[in-house]
């Protein structure tokens, strides 16, 4: 009788999981790419679903609760005892339990291994035969690398605390004990309790309902299998504004109208992307505009892109970031890099698609401008890097995968895609790309799998593309000879003006800039000689008020030039910029430039003393390195 009941309840559980709508998109008995950045053992035992139950404790700056993992043994149960190895970083593990039914849990043996500086510590759990569920009771550290906790004073509204996660590349292990490899896909659900009045949002379904209820008790579910680096949460005084039928924005009340204005084209971007690459498969597409300490420009958390407020320029000129994060809904979230050495598959493809979306909405000249700007920063990187860091399929042995986040995977990767497009023609190429997404949907793939697919579906049919050529792009440093030539007519005019100004042939006041876009301003500034001199800097500033510009990209370029040219009227603005913005792309080069002189280094240290408490752990670690 008892056994019958047990079997019945097991069947019921399985049926429940099925009716709850979690898609079994990854095949059983699959093989997993060897991931040097994870201790986990998906080949023996893999996690398929994560159920989170968290209290968000602002006073202690921790998440406390449980992660209940659904596990599958592969090949199905041979020995009596199984082993599950999870990744963790700075987690406090209270106890671990296992269950065969999901109802009754019993204590399990576990061992937290020694912590590696980059990878964290393996959590090895012994599972009795028949184990289907593993529950870990734990809390995070106040210094979790994947979370930022902010006091009310550090927010725009000054009244409520705020927290947000950033899991890519290997930080989800600092808030979830999990098989933290992009090759191991999981569905997830979550039950989150927050202080009254605050809203929790996640990269999942549930945000709309929770926003209506606002009771401090929130539920979420992600029914598609995603890599762990896409699990995301934020809690704060968040408000919502709709942008379109399936798009909207969450942010603090003080920024809501500004954000909604800036992001008005979001729905159109989704439509354009669908037209090019097939259906958007995730339901809603919302954005969360974070406080300025968010360490990145954007993060493609599914259904809910996280974005820096530094894109709120007031004129919608920096929305390429939205096109980029949205593009990841195909390249990255649907088809995912299996390891961090395959990161270019995520970012190169996305950068290519981002610019195709921009072309759809704003025309070809805009695509070309963005491509030329990207090419400029890539050229800068290539001039500095060792060969091994110029290779798309990058070797990350012994390194933090965050170190692989250079312009190479983005810009060199996107140039490869553009090269393929130009080689076979757009019609054929778009068909290939759509087929690529459809045939690998909800899968994690390696560069090798990609190249084999490319061979069968593009190279074999098109003699103008060769395998040797593709291999050179992917496995060799630098840029191949056949790199696409990108030009922008608008930029050609700007470059001439910049030269004339630098040569003294044209005064700043004789440059007609009233109709320049942000991209043209950026091109103008980065076409000027690096050693322009303080006098010419001053002339530009008087004519165009560059020191007081609010546009973050223009301000960043100008401040970098100001340091290089010892232009002291920008000193106060530099300090204000560095103490109010924590976006790593801006902060890192500014400090790095400052420390090149002893006077600058002293200034950098003084500014950093004030700025550091407001920076995210990732930005702190980066600047600590520069100033050490």
Chain positions contacting Zn ion, by CB under 5 A: 347, 350
* Catalytic (active site) residue 410: yes
Q: Is 55 left (phi over 0), alpha (psi -120 to 50) or beta?
A: beta
Which is nearer to ligand BES, 166 or 488 (by Cβ)?
166
Q: How far is the CB of 232 from ligand BES (least distance, A)?
A: 11
- Active-site pick, 250, 285, 410, 615: 410
Q: Which does 291 bind (CB under 5 to 8 A by kind): Zn ion, ligand BES, none?
A: none
Closest CA to 103 of 208, 200, 9: 9
Closest CA to 183 of 401, 406, 355, 336: 336
- How many Cβ atoms from other residues are within 10 Å of residue 608's Cβ? 20
Q: Does 299 bind ligand BES (CB under 6 A)?
A: yes
**Taking the C-alpha atoms of 26, 30, 36 and 39 in order, what is their torsion angle to the nearest 10 degrees?**
80
Q: How far is the CB of 166 from ligand BES (least distance, A)?
A: 7
Is residue 453 a contact partner of residue 338, using CB atoms and an 8 Å limit? no
Interaction mask 381-420, ligand BES, x per CB under 6 A = ---------------------x--x---------------
Q: Does 324 bind ligand BES (CB under 6 A)?
A: yes
Q: Which does 523 bind (CB under 5 to 8 A by kind): ligand BES, Zn ion, none?
A: none
DSSP summary character for residue 389: G
Closest CA to 490 of 529, 512, 517: 517
Q: How far is the CB of 380 from Zn ion (least distance, A)?
A: 19
Which is nearer to Zn ion, 377 or 511 (by Cβ)?
377
Interaction mask 519-558, ligand BES, x per CB under 6 A = ----------------------------------------
Q: Which of 47, 50, 57, 169 binds ligand BES (CB under 6 A)?
A: 169
Which is nearer to ligand BES, 368 or 402 (by Cβ)?
402
**What is the C-alpha separation between 393 and 388, in angstroms, rounded?**
9
Cis, bond preceding 104 (omega within 30 deg of 0):
no
Q: Is the dihedral of CA 336, 339, 342, 346 positive or negative?
A: positive
Q: Is 45 exposed, middle or buried (0-12, 13-18, 19+ CB in 10 A)?
A: buried
- Active-site pick, 97, 252, 300, 325: 325
What does the chain come to in residues?
A: 628
Which is nearer to ligand BES, 87 or 402 (by Cβ)?
402
Which is nearer to Zn ion, 345 or 458 (by Cβ)?
345
Which is nearer to ligand BES, 300 or 342 (by Cβ)?
300
Q: What's the angle, vertex CA 193, arms to CA 190 and CA 198, rounded to 5?
A: 115
Q: Which of 39, 240, 250, 296 binds ligand BES (CB under 6 A)?
A: 296
Q: Which does 390 bind (CB under 5 to 8 A by kind): ligand BES, Zn ion, none?
A: none
Q: Which does 321 bind (CB under 5 to 8 A by kind): Zn ion, ligand BES, none?
A: ligand BES
Residue nearest to ligand BES (CB): 297
Q: Which does 299 bind (CB under 5 to 8 A by kind): ligand BES, Zn ion, none?
A: ligand BES
Distances in Å between the alpha carbon of 168 and those of 114, 171, 269, 409? 23, 6, 24, 15
Which is nearer to ligand BES, 296 or 501 (by Cβ)?
296
Q: What is the CA radius of gyration of the chain?
A: 25
Q: How far is the CB of 346 from Zn ion (least distance, A)?
A: 6
Q: Which of 160, 168, 293, 339 binds ligand BES (CB under 6 A)?
A: 168
Which is nearer to ligand BES, 352 or 491 (by Cβ)?
352
Q: Which does 479 bind (CB under 5 to 8 A by kind): Zn ion, ligand BES, none?
A: none
Is residue 113 a contact partner of residue 122, using CB atoms and an 8 Å limit? yes
Q: Does 366 bind ligand BES (CB under 6 A)?
A: no
Q: How far is the CB of 293 from ligand BES (least distance, A)?
A: 13
Q: Which does 35 bind (CB under 5 to 8 A by kind): ligand BES, Zn ion, none?
A: none
Closest CA to 335 of 268, 258, 281, 416: 281
**Taking the C-alpha atoms of 147, 150, 155 and 157 in order, what is their torsion angle to the nearest 10 degrees?**
110
Residues contacting ligand BES: total by CB under 6 A: 15
Which is nearer to ligand BES, 136 or 321 (by Cβ)?
321
Q: How far is the CB of 357 from ligand BES (least distance, A)?
A: 12
Interaction mask 329-348, ligand BES, x per CB under 6 A = ------------------x-
**What is the C-alpha separation between 320 and 315, in angstroms, rounded?**
13
Alpha helices, DSSP H, located in 176-216? 207-213
Q: Does 325 bind ligand BES (CB under 6 A)?
A: yes
Main-chain dihedrals φ then ψ at residue 234, nearest 5 degrees: -145, 145
Q: How far is the CB of 413 from ligand BES (least distance, A)?
A: 11
Is residue 303 a contact partner of residue 540, using CB atoms and an 8 Å limit? no
Q: How far is the CB of 611 from ligand BES (least distance, A)?
A: 19
Sheet of 217-226: strands edge to edge?
106-107, 92-99, 133-139, 62-73, 45-57, 186-193, 217-226
- Strand-pair category, 304-307 with 285-289: parallel
**Contact positions toward ligand BES, by CB under 6 A?**
168-169, 296-300, 321, 324-325, 328, 347, 402, 405, 585
> Which residues have a catalytic role annotated?
325, 410
């Amino acid at each position: 009788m008892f056994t019958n009941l047990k079997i019945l309840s097991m069947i019921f559980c399985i049926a429940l999981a099925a009716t709850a709508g979690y898609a079994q998109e990854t095949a059983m008995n699959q093989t997993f790419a060897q991931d040097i950045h994870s201790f986990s053992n998906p080949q023996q035992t893999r996690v398929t679903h994560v159920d989170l139950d968290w209290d968000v404790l602002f006073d202690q700056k921790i998440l406390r609760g449980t992660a209940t993992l659904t596990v599958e043994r592969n090949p199905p149960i041979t020995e009596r005892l199984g082993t599950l190895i999870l990744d963790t970083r700075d987690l406090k593990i209270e106890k671990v339990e296992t269950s065969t039914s999901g109802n009754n849990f019993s204590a399990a043996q576990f061992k937290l291994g020694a912590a590696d500086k980059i990878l964290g510590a393996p959590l090895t759990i012994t599972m009795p035969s028949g184990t289907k569920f593993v529950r870990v009771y734990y809390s995070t550290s106040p210094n979790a690398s994947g979370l930022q906790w902010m006091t009310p004073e550090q927010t725009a509204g000054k009244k409520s605390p705020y927290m947000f996660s950033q899991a890519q590349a290997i930080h989800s292990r600092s808030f979830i004990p999990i098989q933290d490899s992009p090759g191991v896909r999981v569905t997830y659900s979550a039950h989150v309790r927050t202080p009254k009045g605050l809203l929790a949002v996640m990269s999942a379904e549930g945000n709309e309902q929770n926003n209506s209820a606002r009771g401090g008790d929130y539920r979420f579910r992600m029914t598609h299998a995603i890599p762990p680096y896409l699990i995301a949460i934020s809690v704060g005084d968040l408000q919502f504004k709709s942008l379109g039928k399936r798009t909207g924005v969450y942010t603090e009340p003080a920024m809501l109208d500004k954000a909604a204005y800036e992001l008005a084209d979001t729905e159109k971007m989704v439509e354009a992307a669908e037209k090019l690459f097939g259906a958007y498969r995730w339901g809603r597409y919302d954005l969360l505009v974070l406080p300025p300490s968010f360490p990145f420009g954007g993060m493609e958390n599914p259904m809910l892109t996280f974005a820096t407020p530094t894109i709120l320029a007031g004129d919608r000129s920096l929305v390429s970031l939205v096109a980029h994060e949205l593009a990841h809904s195909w390249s990255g979230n649907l088809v995912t890099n299996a390891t961090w050495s395959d990161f270019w598959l995520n970012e190169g493809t996305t950068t290519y698609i981002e610019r195709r979306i921009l072309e759809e909405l704003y025309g070809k000249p805009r695509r070309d401008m963005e491509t030329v700007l990207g090419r400029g920063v890539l050229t800068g990187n290539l001039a500095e890097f060792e060969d091994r860091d110029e290779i798309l399929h990058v070797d990350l042995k012994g390194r933090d995968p965050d170190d692989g986040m250079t312009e190479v995977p983005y810009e060199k990767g996107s140039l490869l895609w553009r090269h393929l497009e130009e080689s076979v023609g757009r019609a054929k190429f778009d068909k290939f790309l759509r087929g690529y997404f459809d045939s690998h949907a909800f899968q994690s793939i390696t560069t090798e799998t990609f190249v084999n697919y490319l061979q069968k579906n593009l190279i074999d049919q098109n003699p103008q593309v060769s395998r040797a050529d593709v291999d050179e792009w992917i496995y060799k440093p630098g840029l191949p000879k056949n790199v696409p030539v990108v030009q922008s007519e608008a930029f050609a005019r700007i470059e001439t003006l910049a030269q004339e100004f630098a040569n003294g042939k044209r005064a700043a006041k004789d440059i007609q800039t009233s109709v320049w876009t942000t991209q043209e301003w950026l091109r103008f500034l980065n076409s000027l000689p690096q050693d322009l001199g303080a006098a010419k800097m001053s002339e530009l500033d008087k004519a165009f008020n560059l020191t007081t510009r609010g546009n973050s990209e223009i301000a960043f370029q100008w401040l970098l030039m100001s340091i290089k040219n010892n232009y002291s009227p920008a000193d106060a603005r530099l300090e204000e910029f560095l103490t109010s913005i924590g976006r790593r792309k801006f902060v890192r080069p500014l400090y790095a430039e400052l420390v090149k002189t002893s006077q600058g280094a002293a200034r950098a240290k003084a500014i950093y003393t004030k700025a550091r408490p407001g920076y995210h752990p990732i930005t702190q670690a980066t600047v600590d390195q520069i100033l050490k």
